[in-house]
A = this chain, B = another copy of it.
Amino acid sequence: MNLDRTNLDVPDVAHLLRSCDALADLARQETLKWFRTPGLAADNKERDGFDPVTAADRASESAMRAYLAQHHPDDGILGEEFDPVDSRSGLTWVLDPIDGTRAFLSGTPCWGVLIALTDAQGPFLGVIDQPYLGERFVGGLGEARLHGPHGTTALQTRATRELAQAILFTTFPEIGTPAERAAFARVQGRALLTRFGMDCYAYALLAAGHIDLVIEAGLNPYDIAAPLAVIEAAGGVVTDWQGGPAGGGGQVIAAANAELHAQAIALLAE
């Protein structure tokens, strides 16, 4: 059990991994009650003030918070939908109950539930769960695995060394300032191919060794904590655009390996 967290009195690893599964199971159950249901469309919000996507988001996060209150009462919680809970243990759970609400609203299977565990050094355990597909990407505390409908496989990032061979994903052109979009375009111009609009699922694909780069901007901490832990556990590199810690959100780059990461941040910085 290599915890890579020597300064912390970290609780039992198996217990934490079980809690990750329990949290993801609860979120899966809550989100699938709403996904692809009639009337999920945004115009409901206009008509009667009820927004079913927000309802799904809150139901998912509430279920996870209730579990944590019972099983990890001393840990903090940072979630998208409700106020933070202070940590007494030094550990904080970071929750995004539905990452990609527009994808969720549109019925695509590329949104996800994000669960991460952080300490003072940042995220060290993460889950990217896709409830409709039944895929769960788990990374950290010695784990790096996809549990899915076609079995369980090890997560390992790709060995692509040249940007000209790299597959790049992003939520651009929907996000970012003009300057950020221009920086992104410099990398896009050198990559093999670029795909758009996958939200957190792009990070899962990177951890699983199918793509090479994800570049985004304007992220919140709960958007990146779980992807960061999963990708680092799979051998990748996640930083901000200056090469510093990415756990705070903002401008984020995830790369399959250090060589690609160096090539991409050089272009982002130009």
Contact = CB atoms under 8 A, between A and B. Distances in A.
Interface of A: 36, 38, 40-43, 46, 102-103, 105-110, 132-134, 149-150, 158, 160, 165, 167, 169, 173-174, 192-198, 201, 205, 208-211
Given A41-B158, A158-B41, A196-B196, A211 B106 contact: yes
B41 A103 contact: no
Interface residues of chain A: helix, strand, loop or mixed (majority): loop
Contacts of A107: 205, 208, 210-211
A38 B209 CA distance: 8
Contacts of A169: 106
Nearest to A204: B107
Given A102-B193, A102-B195, A197-B197, A41 B108 contact: no
Given A36-B208, A210-B36, A108 B201 contact: yes
Contacts of A40: 210
A44 to B, nearest CB: 10
